[in-house]
Amino acid sequence: MMKVNRLTTSCGVFMLCAATAIAAQAQTFTMLLNFDGPDGSAPIALVQGVDGNFYGTTAGGGTNCGPYGCGTVFKITPEGALTTLYSFCSQPSCTDGIYPYAGLVQATDGNFYGTTSQGGSNIHAGTVFKITPAGNFTTVYSFCTQTDCSDGNSPTGGLIQGTDGSLYGTTFTGGTGGAQYCESGCGTVFKISPNGTFTSLHQFTGYSFEGSGPDAGLVQGKNGNFYGTTKYGGAYDQCPLGYGCGTVFEITPSGRLTTLHSFAGHPGDGATPYAGLVLTADGTLFGTTSSGGANDQGTAFKVTPAGDLQTIYNFCSQPNCSDGVMPEAALVWATDGNLYGVTPEGGAYGPGLIFKMTPAGTLTPLYSYCPQGYPQCPDGNFPLGLVQATNGIFYGTTDEGGDLFCGPPYGCGTVFSLSVNLGSFVKTLPPAAKIGAEVGILGTDLTGTSSVRFNGVAAQFTVKTPTLILTRVPSRTTTGYVTVTTRSGVLKSNLPFLVIP
């Protein structure tokens, strides 16, 4: 299961540090926030909302469950002002869930959806929840509705909204059982509507080269199918681990699963992928493994939807592992055509780094955490997530570090930004739709927009806020980039918009 903050440590007095900037090679690292425990601890990941703010979860902290907390949902502005929207276990017996180990997704209804790994109404197997930007909370589904938890148990990955409007996700355990090493079930893939109609799509068995233990969420490809990873399982005879080195899989919206690759863990292949996959503009998928490879410290790989996988980088290939080790977070496909990511350990000083990687696998370290020396890490340590906002800047979280008065010697985690001087862009919500469907376009300083085009075809539009345009997919348009002409220039979408037949 995902490695998280030392929740057994206590978090003390809140101290929001003044943002500090470190400039090197035309890049600027800025500390935005230190969590203090009551407002959250161990932040997981961020998502940019249509209002231009960021929303996320913390695995611990909050005002319930004693000194360590059961987790929170929060909002943070790009400048670092924090609002705690919800503290988990606010309902009797924690039926609202506890310990969210994944971030949020904003659906087309404007609400955020997420999962908790425990809690709920059924033997603490976890939940799916909905929360409005104002903090109104609803439990949508509690797992383990059957005595054998065949519908799943312990969702540790995030959700994705598919092109059909449903939410798709995974559970780490549960299902109908399977291999001996996953006696509590090998995990599941599920679909759930925003109003709570639940469908179990697949129950992993761990047998016959199939994976087990999906620890991350899914990504939808251009063909409409979903792609993900399992931490364990696969071809046992190729892997030194007795429980398998993990897999990459494809699953259709109706639930037909195909194992695309079984990791082997030898010098030419990785093992135990914690993170999910990222889809690039040409439809290629990129991901990481937390172990295996030439140095047994993890790999970066690319894989086609047909299953052709190539290892493009072996971590700890630079002196003293200054390029990082054991990546656990998904990569980000940025607007400059490169991949960006974090490792929770390694770097120049040990507690992790931010890196850039070309699609061919050339890695450049950008920022190494904790130059003061572990555990005194006011800039954070153990980074777990990264996202590129529509202003071109990267924002992310560290699981530990920050305020030294919070949970010594580790700290309760931070939120940071990193600018590498990439330009602004726009992002569509959803990323795919049919002709005539309403689409939101997220951006920065959209007031005064004069034109919106889908692959060159003009669309009618309404500027709702400086960060949101509403439009409809125009007739005769085809799959391609969306462009928005603003007062300051033309903004292009980060990915081609997919027109669904």
Considering the domain architecture, whether residues 413 and 441 belong to the same structural domain is answered as no
Q: 175 near 183, Cβ under 8 Å?
A: no
What pLDDT was estimated at residue 239?
82
What pLDDT was estimated at residue 9?
32
Number of domains making up the chain? 2
What pLDDT was estimated at residue 20?
36
Considering the domain architecture, whether residues 347 and 466 belong to the same structural domain is answered as no
Any domain includes 254: no
Q: How many residues does the chain have?
A: 501
Considering the domain architecture, whether residues 49 and 177 belong to the same structural domain is answered as yes
d(CA 144, CA 122): 6
What pLDDT was estimated at residue 55?
98
Which residues of the chain are under the pLDDT cut of 50?
1-25
What pLDDT was estimated at residue 145?
84
d(CA 287, CA 299): 8
Q: Exposed, middle or buried by CB within 10 Å (0-12, 13-18, 19+), for 150?
A: middle
Provide the 8-state DSSP code for 378.
Answer: T
**pTM > 0.85: yes or no:** yes
The domain boundary residue, chosen from 397, 419, 441: 419
Q: 281 near 495, Cβ under 8 Å?
A: yes
d(CA 135, CA 154): 24
> What's the domain range around 117?
26-208+301-419
What pLDDT was estimated at residue 266?
84
Considering the domain architecture, whether residues 111 and 204 belong to the same structural domain is answered as yes
What pLDDT was estimated at residue 180?
65
In CATH, what number is assigned to the domain containing residue 481?
Answer: 2.60.40.10
d(CA 420, CA 336): 10
| Cis peptide bond upstream of 375, omega within 30 | yes
What pLDDT was estimated at residue 11?
33
Closest Cα to residue 219, out of 260, 182, 264, 270?
260
Provide the 8-state DSSP code for 110.
Answer: S
Strand order in the sheet with 285-289: 278-279, 285-289, 299-303, 309-314
- The values of phi and psi at residue 340, to 5°, are -125, 150
| Cis peptide bond upstream of 214, omega within 30 | no
In what helix (H) or strand (E) does residue 72 lie, and over which residues does it extend? strand 72-76
Q: Per-residue pLDDT tens for 397-419? A: 999 998 766 766 678 999 999 99
Any domain includes 253: no
The domain boundary residue, chosen from 366, 394, 419: 419
What pLDDT was estimated at residue 404?
66
d(CA 174, CA 377): 38
One-letter amino acid of 55? Y
For tokens 């590129």, the residue is 388
What pLDDT was estimated at residue 10?
31
Considering the domain architecture, whether residues 340 and 477 belong to the same structural domain is answered as no
Q: Per-residue pLDDT tens for 132-176? A: 999 999 999 999 987 778 999 999 999 999 999 999 999 999 998
